[in-house]
Amino acid sequence: MTTLSIDHVSRWFGNVVAVNDITMTIGPGVTGLLGPNGAGKSTLINMMGGFLAPSTGTVTLDGQPVWRNEAIYKHIGIVPEREAMYDFLTGREFVVANAELHGLGAKAAQKALATVEMEYAQDRKIQTYSKGMRQRVKMASALVHDPSLLLLDEPFNGMDPRQRMQLMDLLRRMGDEGRTVLFSSHILEEVEQLAWHIEVVVAGRHAASGDFRKIRRLMTDRPHRYLVRSSDDRALAAALIADPSTAGIEVDLAEGALRIQAVDFGRFTALLPRVARDHGIRLLTVSPSDESLESVFSYLVAA
């Protein structure tokens, strides 16, 4: 059982507050740290990893302080967001070096490389690697000492869908094995697909915490707005308003479009194409007008 405790942690840089009085406990399983860019996720992860001192508050791993405590790294594996990683080494040399720094040998390195399925490219220089390959080698270097806590800063950034799925499988497996896995992301779907538990951070504050169903409900139960253009706006509006999933429709003459407010997200998204087809109406534009992450987060914060 490895538990990471963040207790009333704040961090400011000059007079900019990056993290504002956050308290959370991260236990075994996969936890997603969700928040828009610049929300303070990296600052928080840096404090969790012992690379940044909290201005106030404490970060502890099973009661041990993380800051200025080198011995703690026997239990922590870190996958940083930054790209730089001794590019002049081959993947294997890099992971072996990481193993040696933990007092382990080439065998541990080889096992970690196998876990991330990078054996096929292990003898190539890291500078020739794609983003996804780098990410996997970083992952191998973090796993080499079999840590009980794994911290990953934006691990899916720049990965293609296949690489993303592989890494998700791997992290899921780590969580199933009872490790404490925390990853940050600004992409809702990533977090939702992978995390058992979600911590939401917005503008340095802890905005929400819970399992993904609860967060999802907060997200989907809010009114959604859509901008729709079609071959016959008024006929479409009349057909849609009859359904309880739609709360209001405005005909925007200036835009030549409908502004629709839906209250039941799931139902509305199924309804719209069906209604259009049944009435022989062509849909020209369907775009969520407030789906930007910021609006989702601001909604969450207000909730």
Q: Which amino acid is at 39?
A: A
Report how far residue 184's alpha carbon sits from residue 235's, in angstroms, rounded to the nearest whole number.
45
Burial of residue 105 (number of CB atoms within 10 Å: 0-12, 13-18, 19+): exposed
One character per residue 267-286, x = contact with other proteins (rule: CB under 8 A): --------------------
SS3 content of the chain, % helix, strand, coil (to 5): 40, 30, 30
Question: Least distance to other proteins from the beta carbon of 46, Å?
Answer: 6
Stretch that binds other proteins, among 58-66, 96-104, 175-183, 213-221 (CB under 8 A): 96-104
Cβ closest to other proteins, residue 82 vs residue 162: 82
Cβ closest to other proteins, residue 18 vs residue 271: 18
- Phi/psi for 84 (5° steps) reads -60, 130
Q: Residue 277's Cα: distance from chain center in Å?
A: 36
The angle at the Cα of 189, spanning 183 to 190, to the nearest 5 degrees, equals: 30
Question: Least distance to other proteins from the beta carbon of 180, Å?
Answer: 16
Q: Count of CB atoms within 10 A of residue 286's CB?
A: 16
Long-range contacts of 291-297 (CB under 8 A, 24+ apart): 291/224, 293/36, 293/186, 293/188, 294/36, 296/188, 296/219, 297/35, 297/36, 297/39, 297/200, 297/202, 297/207
Question: Least distance to other proteins from the beta carbon of 274, Å?
Answer: 45
Stretch that binds other proteins, among 92-100, 169-177, 186-194, 290-298 (CB under 8 A): 92-100
One of 80, 91, 175, 204 touching other proteins (CB under 8 A): 80
Contact by Cβ (8 Å): 42, 201: no
One of 1, 14, 63, 70 touching other proteins (CB under 8 A): 70
98 touches other proteins by CB under 8 A: yes
One character per residue 187-226, x = contact with other proteins (rule: CB under 8 A): ----------------------------------------
38 touches other proteins by CB under 8 A: yes
One of 97, 227, 281, 293 touching other proteins (CB under 8 A): 97
| Residues between 7 and 36 that touch other proteins (CB under 8 A) | 18
Cβ closest to other proteins, residue 70 vs residue 278: 70
Burial of residue 33 (number of CB atoms within 10 Å: 0-12, 13-18, 19+): buried
| Residues between 99 and 158 that touch other proteins (CB under 8 A) | 100-103, 141, 153
SS3 28: coil
Q: How many helices (H) and strands (E) does the chain have?
A: 10, 14
Residues of this chain that interact with other proteins (CB under 8 A) are: 18, 38, 42-43, 46, 49-53, 68, 70-74, 76-78, 80-82, 84-86, 88-89, 97-98, 100-103, 141, 153
